[in-house]
Structure formats: C-alpha cells, structure tokens
Structure 1
Amino acid sequence: MDYDVIVIGSGPGGYVAAIRASQLGLKTAIVEKESLGGICLNWGCIPTKALLKSAQVFEYLNHSADYGIKINGAGEVDFAAVVKRSRNVADGMSKGVQFLMKKNKIDVLVGFGKLKSKGVVEVKAADGTAKTYNGKHIILATGGRSRELPNLKQDGKKVIGYRQAMVLPQQPKSMIVVGSGAIGIEFAYFYNSIGTKVTVVEYLDNIVPLEDEDVSKSLARILKKQGINIMTGSNVESVDTSGELCKVSVKTATGTETLEAEIVLSAVGIATNLEGIGLEENGVKTDRGKVLVDDFYRTNVEGVYAIGDIVKGQALAHVASAEGIICVEKIAGQNPHPLDYNNIPGCTYCSPEVASVGYTEKAAKEAGYEIKVGKFPFSASGKASAAGAKDGFVKVIFDAKYGEFLGAHMLGYNVTEMIAEVVTARKLEATGHEIIKSVHPHPTMSEAVMEAAAEAYGECIHL
C-alpha cells in the first residue's frame, strides 16, 4: 500500500496529525500496537481525570453538611468500582478515536511500527508477522513511558509507575509518591482523598517545581492541611521490597529517614519511546533522548518527521496535537506559524487545581523585564465563596514598559478551565489595561483574572 502520510503512534499527537492530514486530502495511515488514543486516552490524561472526579464526589459527600445537606451514614469508597469507571471512560474515548479514523478514511495498521528505509514503514503484528508500507511522509509520534531511576526500579507490584497506579487490585493503606510534578501530585491527591496515607518525596525545594513559587508554596500548605505528608529537598536513595511493606530510605537535609508504605509510586517524569523504531539505521539524529527537528518537525532525514514527547518542548497532550497539525499543514504546502512554546498552558488537576502559562515572576525578572504583578485571592471572590472554594488565587505578570501579558499563575477551583483566556490574550498580544477593560461576567471565578490585572495597576475594586 502507498500512502502520502504514515503516522507511527496514535496518541494525541499521532491521531490528530492523521486526521488533519486526511482533511487536507492526503491519503493517510496510522500505526498503533495497542489501543487508539495512546497513553493520554488510555493510561494518562483521561482515565486519571475520571479517578479524580470520583475523589471529588467523595469529598463532596464528606463535606455535604458544609452546604446544608445531611446524609445519613458515611460515604464509602468502592475502589474496584472507581477503577472500573475510569477504565470505561478511557475505553469510550478510545472507541471515539476509532470512529474518527473511519470517518476520516484513515487506515489503521495494527502492530509495532518501525522506519525500515527511505519511505518505508514496517509493521510487526503481535504474532510476529510483518508487512511493509510505503509513505512519502512518515511522522514519528511514539510518545513516552514512565521513567525509571536506577535506585527506584519498578516491579509493577510494590514499586509502580502511573499505569499500574490506575488499576491497582485494591486500595493501598499507605503510599509514597516520589516526584511532585503533575502526575505525582494528582495521584497523591486522589489516594489521600479516598483514605490512603500518602507521603510525597520531592528532590527539589518546592512541589510542582515548574510552577511559580507562590503557587508551589500555597499548594503545599493546602495539601498538608488535607493530610498529605510532604518532604521537599529530599531524595530516595533505595527501596527494600523484601518485606510486607516497602522500606524507603530517604535522604533529607538533616539526615536519612526510613519510611514504610505498601506501595511506592515513581512519578519522576517520562522516558521517550525511541528504541527499535529505526532511528539509528536510517541516520535520524537524536540528542539526549529527543529526536532533533526544525520548527516544522522535519528531522535531518528527508520525508521523516517527529512530534510529541519525543521532540523538544513540553511533554503534554495539547502540545503534541498542536505540533501534529503544524507538521501536517507544512507537508500539505500551507504556511503555518511555528509553535510558541512560551505560550503553552500547564495544568495539574488536584484540588485545588493549578494552571499556568508564560513567565513565572522569577523567570520574568531573570529575562530582564521590569514587571507589574497583580494577585487576587479567591477568598475575595463571590462565586468562590458561594461554591465553598475560597482556597487559592490568580497571579498575573505584566511588562511595566509596554503592558505585555508575560504570564499568569492560578491556584483554585476550576482554574484549568480559566487559563485559556490568558493563552488567547497573550496570543493576541493583549495588554494589562485591555484585560481590565474586558468586562467579565459576575459572579464567576474568571473575574479574578480581571481583578488581578487591575490590582497590578492599582485599580482593583474588590481588595
């Protein structure tokens, strides 16, 4: 079979690239060895949000009296049913991608895809049989997996990665989460909410270390109040899994402690899936586990492209999707703009949520900007008070000279739905005063963006 485009990998980078290619009139195939939708739909973004929703519902039940609702008897977590719901949500999304492949007349080639030679892809089925396909343009979108540290080897039972954390056979009584990025914090919040004793161990000085320091410190205080034990500036040196409980040796600023837990979750980032896909044999250049590409995702080998977690930039589903669209539009002869990696929103779906885009306060100063900073707490928001969600704030950063919207950092209820306003504003080069003069609906959480902008310029009404 001959194709204009063959995509290897069907995650949010791959399947989106395939659909856009088909829309642009290119004959397209996609290769997938497991389930359509990749890690994001099957073992990442989507099923974790389903787990987190169950935790949120459980918290509502436990705090229903705060809203004037009396419930007879205590709520109880059916862990197996929570996991089953999460898997059903994931399966439904994967079936949705199957439908989109049929709708867009994209051939799905089931098996492990490998770049065989110039313009040729080999697809090896589970039974070992292999077929080759010709493609003028081959897009590598093979994604990533849970990264393993030498001193934190995963056995899939006691020391696990995110994938096993979603389908544990029973709820553990205790868990140590190593790493406090989005994945680590989301699982820490989920398991703590349903009654597991959780400790988070973070090597750096702040949790969610990529976030603005104000957000990191405030979130740490809130999570500690929720009952999560947080150890920053700490490093796991070894794990002994020989006994009933894991014995975890943790080096801290004051010495070494031994912690015990049923489960250790390694959430120390991702490793890229570059092995066995034909890069070396075909001379595709890589550097430190990433495929080297230009602004339109072309590798050094003509006709071969790479997108998503395996290239530069943030390892996020929405980044992979955007890269896939840009890559394919360039292939089709259009003139897309390169992706602005400094205008990518990041979200963490614990409770309260975290959302951010652009420069942190520290990064803006280091970049040489003279800045104006505004901060509006949700404790002053009418909607937040009514919702019983007064934790957190919106923090905005502007260039003092021109009013450029440098960054925004949010901690609070539903802020992951609010951050897109700032992404759009920054894309359109809106200034601080244009945000202030854009009338926001009342009462809403989103008013806090306008109020924070006004606070930066000394015009805030409700503080």
Structure 2
Amino acid sequence: MAQQGFDVIVIGAGPGGYVAAIRAAQLDKRVVIVEREHLGGICLNWGCIPTKALLRSAEVFHLMHRAKEFGLKAEGVDFDLDAVIKRSRKVAGQLTSGIGHLMKKNKVTVVMGAAKITAPGKVSVKTDKGTEDLTAPEVILATGARARELPGLEADGDLVWTYRHALQPKRMPKNLLVIGSGAIGIEFASFFNTLGAKTTVVEVMDRVLPVEDEEISAFAKKAFEKQGMSIRVKTTVKKLERGKGKVTAHLEAGGKTETAEFDTVISAVGIVGNTEGLGLEELGVKVDRTHVVTDEYGRTGVKGLWAIGDIAGAPWLAHKASHEGVVVAEKIAGMNPHPVKPAAIAGCTYCHPQVASVGLSEAKAKEAGHQVKVGRFPFIGNGKAIALGESEGMIKTVFDAKTGELLGAHMIGAEVTELIQGYVVGRTLETTEEELMHTVFPHPTLSEMMHESVLDAYGRAIHF
C-alpha cells in the first residue's frame, strides 16, 4: 500500500492511546491510531469496564439476599451466570463502539493491524489486506500489558484461568483458588465468592492488597474472611498438578508444603508490558523488566518516540494512562503541561467492601522522613452509612505534622472509589488540613467521614 504521512502515530487504542489521539487531534495534528485487536484496549474490553459490570451483578445479588434487613421480601434468589456474562460483554461492546465514534468525530484515522517501528518516524502495519506504511515525526507507544504467567502456573483456559478466562467463564467454580491478592485477584475472588464459590486467596506477601496502607489491608482481610473467604498470606504456590476436573496446588508457607484441591485456579500474579515485535531493540529503546523507560513527560530517549500507560510502568491504571496521553499530546504540540505525578494517582479496588487510596501510606510517609498526624473515622459513626446498611468501613488520612500537607488518604467501605476523588483534588490543589477543616461537607452523605477523618488527625472529631 502507499505510504501515508501524519503528524502523530499512536500505537495502541486503549485508554492511553485513544485519549492521546483525541487530544492531539484537538490540537490540530493529523493523527493515525493503530490497534491490533479492539478499540478501547484491555480496559474497555477485558479489564476495568467488564469486571465492574460483573461486580455490579454480584453486588445486587448480595443485596437481594439482605432484602429482609430493608423490610423487603425476595424469595428464591438465584443467578444466571450466562446472563451475567452477557450483560458484562454488552456493556463492554457499547463502550467500544463509542470509541469508534470518537475517532470519527475527531478525524483520527484508524488502522487495524500489528505495528512495528521500522525506523524513527516510520511504522509498518500488518493488516488483513497486507502491509500499510505510516510516517510521522512523533510516535506514541501505548501498547499496554498482559497477564504475567509464572512457570508451572500457566493458564490453560480450562482449569487455570487468567483474567480473560474469568471474564467469560465456562462454568461457575465450586472450589476456587486465586493466586495473588492485588486488585485483579481480589476483585475476581470477591465476585465468585459472592456468587457462592468456596474461595481461597493465596498471597506471597505478608498481607492482602499489599500496596495499600497496613490498616486497610488488615480491615479488608477481616471483611473477606467474614464473607467466607480463606486468606493465606506469606504463602507461595510452588506447583499445580492438573487432573481430570481438578487441580492439586502445592502451597508453601513457613518452610512447609501442603497440598489442596480446587476445581478452578485464577492466576493474578501481575502483568508484563507488551514490548515484543515493535522494533524497540533495533531503535535502542531502553526496556527495564518488560517496561519502556521514560522521563516524567513520556519521552523514551529516542527522538520523536514516546511511551504511555502500562507499557511505561507503574501505576498500571487506566486513568494514569489517559492523563499521560494528554500530557504527551500537549508536549508534542509545544505546550507546557504538568508532568504526571504517580503519587497523585488514586488506586481503586472494586471488591466488597471497596478499597481506594491516594498518596503515601502511614508507613511510607514515616519512611520518607515525615512526622505525621493520622486521622481515622469509622463508617459506623456516619448516619448515611447506617441508613444504607453499609456500616463496615473506615477512612484514614495522613498529614505532615509540621506543614499540614495532606500526604495520603486511605479508605475501605461502600462507595469509597467515588469518595477518594475529593482527596485527589485536595492534593492537586496542595491543600492543608486547615482548608479541609473549613470545607462544609453536605449532610447526610458518606463524604462527611472525610471531614471527620481530617478533624480526628488534630483531635477535633465531632461524631466519634
């Protein structure tokens, strides 16, 4: 095919790539985006969105079983797994088609195929019609990541699943092992456990959700165990023996190994960047542990080549990728955007109860040399939480004792994934405890607990 010239080539149409493409187009750049599988990437098709649709079904199912608490009657409550999955895929499909509309609206050319950078500013794309050659002075890598597979724990789609298999399960697990207690592992554990699977979570670290504040992790572990999950920390899965309809897992803890049988295993042991086949080695791009090394603006060190999102390293979050896409597009256009600060990016886990955080944990703040003031407020002290029937949870805030800077906020409980943004805005505006104390929070809302947690850090909590 004939060579096509553009101002910007974006490789990968996930939440990093398609946002970068739109922003660059808004800035009057001629943009082409290359995608080998689905517009919307993993997030819209196999990650953020479909998993939230599944978890919403589980949440409604859980509430239906609690109907009597609310003065309601719901008898013979059951679920149709196929229908739950069908709804999840429909939601994903709706949003994916929306991305196609956004590309047309912003006059972004879409090429479906596998891209390789053959030289600086030159990209060759293998499509179902042949090879298409694209040129542009600026190329943005947004190829994302995939599930990490450890030797001996590889997924087969039958007995051992990755997140993709778990999103379209062939059956409802009866006795489930989840390896890894990060966001992906805990969300699937929460989903299947709520629907009735006997669920065991194994974590090699000393606590579940190990990136969260220790108090939040401890609270989560108690909540999960109360729901019937078995949580095993400081435990390694050494081997999986696959048989007919069962898997025998060899679990090592404290120097001792034991075996346990499961009918299904979900491996959620991290991700690896999609760096293969892109021509990066030939270009001299530095790759560290499957992730492209960049500066704070996404520059790779190769002139005209940028990297954003999961391929550029932690935190592996869609909203971080999207914001990086905006920053890079604006930098290319000659603007002077603020660089992305990982510590200002909120993390959200949509298990039950939900978990959300931003900034430094109490331990990390102390390690960084801060003298801290810490505030806490429990859901049981909040009228809206009690009215909702969601009185389990807590909000924790960490401040610098000398300056009053909000260093971090950590939450567990109902709707905390929505509440956390208040603290994110506060950190972006460089707020101190004084501004937060003087802010009037509406009543009755869950957000009042955010205020009370701040007050508690300074011995001024009112309602607890």
TM-score (norm 1): 0.98
Q: Establish whether residue 261 from structure 1 lines up as the match of residue 262 from structure 2.
A: yes
**How far apart are the structure 2 equivalents of 1:34 and 1:312?**
21
* Aligned position for 1:41: 44
Q: Which amino acid aligns with 2:359?
A: G
Q: CA RMSD in A?
A: 0.9
Post-superposition shift, 1:151?
2.8
Q: Secondary structure at the match of 2:365?
A: helix
Q: Secondary structure at the match of 2:374?
A: strand
**How far apart are the structure 2 equivalents of 1:372 and 1:303?**
45
**How far apart are the structure 2 equivalents of 1:225 and 1:74?**
23
Q: Is the 8 A contact 1:62 1:74 kept in 2?
A: no
Relative to structure 1, the CA distance from residue 60 to residue 433 in structure 2 (aligned partners, 3 Å threshold; closer, same or farther) is same
Q: Is the 8 A contact 2:247 2:261 kept in 1?
A: yes
Per-residue CA shift, 1:58-104, capped at 9, x if unaligned? Answer: 01111100111012x22111000000000000000100101100100
Per-residue CA shift, 1:165-185, capped at 9, x if unaligned? Answer: 000122121210000000000
Q: Is the 8 A contact 1:353 1:415 kept in 2?
A: yes
The partner residue of 2:81 within 70, 79, 88 is: 79
Q: Secondary structure at the match of 1:145?
A: strand
Q: Secondary structure at the match of 1:25?
A: coil
Q: Which amino acid aligns with 1:114?
A: K
Q: Secondary structure at the match of 2:281?
A: coil
Post-superposition shift, 1:126?
4.1
* Aligned position for 1:209: 210
* Aligned position for 1:99: 101
Q: Secondary structure at the match of 2:7?
A: strand
- 5+ residue gaps in structure 2? none
Q: Which amino acid aligns with 1:13?
A: G
Per-residue CA shift, 1:141-193, capped at 9, x if unaligned? Answer: 00000001113111122111101100012212121000000000000000000
* Aligned position for 1:110: 112
Q: Is the 8 A contact 2:159 2:245 kept in 1?
A: no
* Aligned position for 1:427: 428
Q: Secondary structure at the match of 1:280?
A: helix
Which stretch of structure 1 is more off in the superposition, 350-359 or 287-296?
A: 287-296
Per-residue CA shift, 1:233-284, capped at 9, x if unaligned? Answer: 1000000112321100100126212111111100011111000011012222
* Aligned position for 1:19: 22
Q: Is the 8 A contact 1:433 1:453 kept in 2?
A: no
**How far apart are the structure 2 equivalents of 1:169 and 1:175?**
14
**How far apart are the structure 2 equivalents of 1:440 and 1:187?**
34
**How far apart are the structure 1 equivalents of 2:14 and 2:170?**
26
TM-score (norm 2): 0.98
Post-superposition shift, 1:135?
1.3
The partner residue of 2:54 within 26, 51, 54 is: 51
Q: Establish whether residue 405 from structure 1 lines up as the match of residue 406 from structure 2.
A: yes
Q: Secondary structure at the match of 1:442?
A: coil
Q: Which amino acid aligns with 2:116?
A: K
**How far apart are the structure 1 equivalents of 2:346 and 2:307?**
22
* Aligned position for 1:61: 64
**How far apart are the structure 2 equivalents of 1:231 and 1:312?**
28
Q: Which amino acid aligns with 2:80?
A: D
Q: Secondary structure at the match of 2:77?
A: coil
Post-superposition shift, 1:313?
3.0
Q: Establish whether residue 272 from structure 1 lines up as the match of residue 280 from structure 2.
A: no
Q: Is the 8 A contact 2:272 2:291 kept in 1?
A: no
- 5+ residue gaps in structure 1? none
Count of residues in correspondence between the two structures: 461
Per-residue CA shift, 1:106-157, capped at 9, x if unaligned? Answer: 0100101111112111111246x21111111111100000001113111122
**How far apart are the structure 1 equivalents of 2:143 and 2:344?**
24
* Identical pairs, percent: 51
* Aligned position for 2:461: 460
Q: Secondary structure at the match of 2:282?
A: coil
* Aligned position for 1:289: 290
Q: Is the 8 A contact 1:177 1:184 kept in 2?
A: yes
Q: Secondary structure at the match of 2:118?
A: strand
